[in-house]
Amino acid sequence: MRLWHERPREVRNLFNPAFCGLVIARGVEGFMAEANRPMPFSLTLLILPLCLHKRTRDQLKEANRSYFTKILQEHPEIRVDLAERSRGLMPYTMEAFGYLMASGAIAVDESGAIATKEGAVRKSIAGSEDTKDCQAVARSLGKKLALLNDRVTIYTTLGIRP
């Protein structure tokens, strides 16, 4: 990964660690609200690839009230290139986790699950329409993943090897 100042402006803006961290934190908050426990680390790796990709984000937003498996049945195109996108976003995801840890916004328990700390992330969702959508979809996605409650099923349904 390039040093921050060597990255193109578009990459610095879109994959800003603070913004990516906020999106991940919203997903973890949604999961915790539904499951009442921290989010497994392996599931947090799905948040950015599903929420930053505009077409996928729009499909998840549109089907807000549906179960995750039903959304995937109705929109199998979500699976297309998801594994590749996940691998491509991994450095930015790790950078976002570093930012969240450094700012004290998350905690990692002994099993490696991720929890947001109380009051570390502002409750209200603000920003441009796209950034609001990313955050809202991440929160909703976290809740949907909590309802499934099985990492292997989630990854298999998405066509990714756990």
Give residue-wise pLDDT tens across range 134-145.
Answer: 999 999 999 999
Number of domains in the chain: 1
Task: Please indicate, yes or no, if residue 103 is contained in any of the structural domains.
Answer: yes
Task: Please indicate, yes or no, if residue 62 is contained in any of the structural domains.
Answer: yes
Q: Convert the pLDDT of each residue in 4-38 to its tens digit.
A: 778 888 877 778 999 999 999 999 999 999 999 99
Task: Please indicate, yes or no, if residue 17 is contained in any of the structural domains.
Answer: yes
Task: Please indicate, yes or no, if residue 109 is contained in any of the structural domains.
Answer: yes
Stated pTM of the model? 0.92
Radius of gyration of the chain (CA): 15
CB 31 within 8 A of CB 144: no
Task: Please indicate, yes or no, if residue 1 is contained in any of the structural domains.
Answer: no
> Does the pLDDT of residue 162 top 80, yes or no?
no
Q: Convert the pLDDT of each residue in 60-73 to its tens digit.
A: 999 878 888 899 99
Task: Please indicate, yes or no, if residue 3 is contained in any of the structural domains.
Answer: no
pLDDT of residue 138: 96
Which residue blocks in the chain are alpha helix, DSSP H? 9-14, 17-35, 41-44, 47-51, 54-62, 68-74, 82-102, 129-148, 151-157
Task: Please indicate, yes or no, if residue 133 is contained in any of the structural domains.
Answer: yes
Task: Please indicate, yes or no, if residue 104 is contained in any of the structural domains.
Answer: yes
The domain of 142 spans 8-157
For 26, the token pair is 């919203």
CB 145 within 8 A of CB 157: no
Give Cβ neighbours of residue 93 (< 8 Å, ≥ 6 apart).
20, 24, 44, 45, 47, 48
CB 135 within 8 A of CB 26: yes
